[in-house]
Chain A
């Protein structure tokens, strides 16, 4: 158990809908990252927050947005869902922001868009 929690574990929804994925980082961790794992794209970085502020953006679609709240939990919002958005979404956290800092991953949320 990494200490990172993600809810829900599974999500099935229809095209055009909007969903919210939630992540609670390890106690004391200030940085949160979101990654998408799909069969065709592999593991891709979406976005990073550090202590409530956006730190870095990767291959995140405009239909997707995220935020980190004062209690440091984070939410990833996915809207106007398409079939291609079906994937496993991972949240990771780290104590700080730095290249040598280890990132700890949650169990993921499996999103299925039908």
Chain B
């Protein structure tokens, strides 16, 4: 079945450092890929998405490129802020007769220190 693997955290960074969170997936077809962010005590917010190979999703300084050849969707940000401290989830969705559920990775906790 479908699965998503992302690097385990926590990842601790200083402000203005570069962030990369690795995400790889296994899917039977050609899924859409998403990054969601969960701030403390809140629900999940969609950060960015990509729906086909070589698409680049971007939002709030974050970006991720859909790499079909390596089945990856790594999240990157060039200069993080304290406000980026959160848990980040990589997810995929495939449109099947059985619906289009999101399959999530385990989440990566990021802590940015001033």
- The size bracket of the interface on B is 20 to 34
A70 contacts B by Cβ under 8 Å: no
A55 contacts B by Cβ under 8 Å: yes
A105-B49 contact, Cβ under 8 Å, with A43-B89, A45-B103: no
- Say yes or no: B43 contacts A103, CB within 8 Å: no
In chain B, residues 41-100, which have Cβ atoms closer than 8 Å to a Cβ of chain A? Answer: 42-46, 49, 51, 89, 93-96, 98-100
Residue ranges of A at the interface with B (Cβ–Cβ < 8 Å): 2, 4, 33, 35, 42-45, 48, 50, 55-58, 90, 92, 97-108
Q: Which residues of A contact B49 (CB under 8 A)?
A: 100, 102
- Say yes or no: B99 contacts A97, CB within 8 Å: yes
Q: Given B93, B99, B101, B104, which contacts A42 in the complex, CB threshold below 8 Å?
A: B104
A48-B32 contact, Cβ under 8 Å, with A43-B104, A99-B94, A100-B51: no
Listed from nearest, the 9 A-B pairs whose CB atoms lie closest are A56-B99, A99-B95, A45-B101, A43-B104, A105-B44, A105-B43, A55-B99, A99-B93, A100-B51
Q: Which residue of A lies closest to B30 (CB)?
A: A99
